[in-house]
Amino acid sequence: MSDFLLPRLRALDPYVPGEQPQDKQYVKLNTNESPFPPSPHVLDALSREAIARLNLYPDPLSAVLRQTIAAEYGLMEANVFVGNGSDEVLGFAFMAYADETRGATISDVSYGFYRVYAQLYRVSPIIIPLNEDFTLPVEKFLSQGQLVALANPNAPTSIALPLSEVERIVAGNPDSVVLIDEAYVDFGGETCVPLLGKYPNLLIVRTYSKSRSLAGGRLGYALASPAIIDDLNRMKNSFHPYNINRLTMLAGIEAMRDRRYFVSCVAAICAQREQSAAALKTLGFTVLPSATNFLFASPPGMDGKTYYEKLKARGVLVRYLSQPTLTRYVRITVGSVGQMDALLTATRDILKEEKA
């Protein structure tokens, strides 16, 4: 770093994305991308004519995109905010609702960006440990008096909290925003969209990266009361008013409209998830119940880092997390049939080698 960086930022511990190695071709099961391409309607929308309009700024209101998202959930355009990936939406939420005087409450095992944003915005977070079985201790998240940020289903544990328990947390923090990150909810969680009309403090954050096959498009969105959406727009327009580019806007509209393709891809991923979980359990793995597009699994007879390294040597990438409570586990994206077969083949080879 340079000598010019602000002193308070020199200790910043940035988020570390999943590996994107270029040294050789890997079976990539480490970043929770969809194994399916975007909807064919998305490909049709990104025409030569659309690309030719890149000399023009995009709509700063993203009106048609927001209307399309609102229609999917039976909401109004005023209930929808869109961001450059859900990470940007999360960043604006922390910017709007947490600072040195009013903090944030997060769990100790969750999406890593919550801690990064807390540090970036000078927030001293309350960090609540998960239960030993990786479930969320709901009682400890009540009456916080500050921003509460939770992923449901949780990452990287893959466990979903029932809607009734989510409602307890939202209802139990009436004077502060409760942010529920539903990045993976389409794969088996219960969305809290039905609670929006009842709780003005609820902020739901979602992404197109997982179930809509647009990780490379960088598109996320928030669903909330018009007042909270206005807050987020205030942050956006003070930072990056043209945050959604023209092509991503078109892709987002068509991906949301093509419900049949979305449903078929999600169903295929969920079916593959269950097959892969069963196969790993047969090999002696501990696999947590998953409501996501990934598996959180502990290999027999070795720690997660050893398994990760042995897989990588065989051309298969999974995500190893070095947090002390997670060292027995790896996170495995549910890929295509061929990708999961490659994972299982490599795993059997590793286990055979360990026994030799």
The domain that holds 215 is classified in CATH as 3.40.640.10
Question: Both 194 and 240 in a single domain?
Answer: yes
Find the mean pLDDT for residues 69-78: 98
Question: Both 291 and 209 in a single domain?
Answer: no
For residue 185 the two structure tokens come to 């909810």
What is the separation of C-alpha 337 from the centre of its chain, rounded to a whole number of angstroms?
Answer: 23
Question: Both 99 and 248 in a single domain?
Answer: yes
Question: Both 125 and 149 in a single domain?
Answer: yes
Q: How many folded domains does the chain comprise?
A: 2
- Can the peptide bond before residue 153 be classed as cis, meaning omega within 30 degrees of 0? yes
Question: Both 287 and 190 in a single domain?
Answer: no
Segment 108-143, tens digit of pLDDT: 999 999 999 999 999 999 999 999 999 999 999 999
Question: Both 163 and 248 in a single domain?
Answer: yes
CA 19 – CA 22 distance, rounded (Å)? 9
Share of the chain above pLDDT 90, in %: 94
Question: Both 127 and 234 in a single domain?
Answer: yes
Q: Which domain holds residue 197?
A: 40-258
Residue 24, pLDDT score:
73
Question: Both 205 and 350 in a single domain?
Answer: no
Segment 139-184, tens digit of pLDDT: 999 999 999 999 999 999 999 999 999 999 999 999 999 999 999 9
The pLDDT mean for the chain works out to 96
Question: Both 28 and 58 in a single domain?
Answer: no
85-97 vs 113-120: helix crossing angle, rounded to 10: 40
pLDDT for 349 beyond 80: yes
Q: Which among 258, 278, 302 is the end of a domain?
A: 258
Question: Both 203 and 299 in a single domain?
Answer: no
Question: Both 92 and 199 in a single domain?
Answer: yes
Q: Which of 279, 283, 346 is nearest to 316 (CA)?
A: 346
Core vs surface per residue 264-294: b (16+ CB within 10 A) or e: ebbebbbebbeebbebbeeeebebbebbbbb
Asked if residue 1 belongs to a domain, the reply is no
**Residue with the two structure tokens 């000399």:** 55
Asked if residue 81 belongs to a domain, the reply is yes
Segment 183-229, tens digit of pLDDT: 999 999 999 999 999 999 999 999 999 999 999 999 999 999 999 99
Segment 17-33, tens digit of pLDDT: 888 877 778 999 999 99
In DSSP notation, 23-61 reads SS--EE-SS---SSPPPHHHHHHS-HHHHHGGGSPPPTT
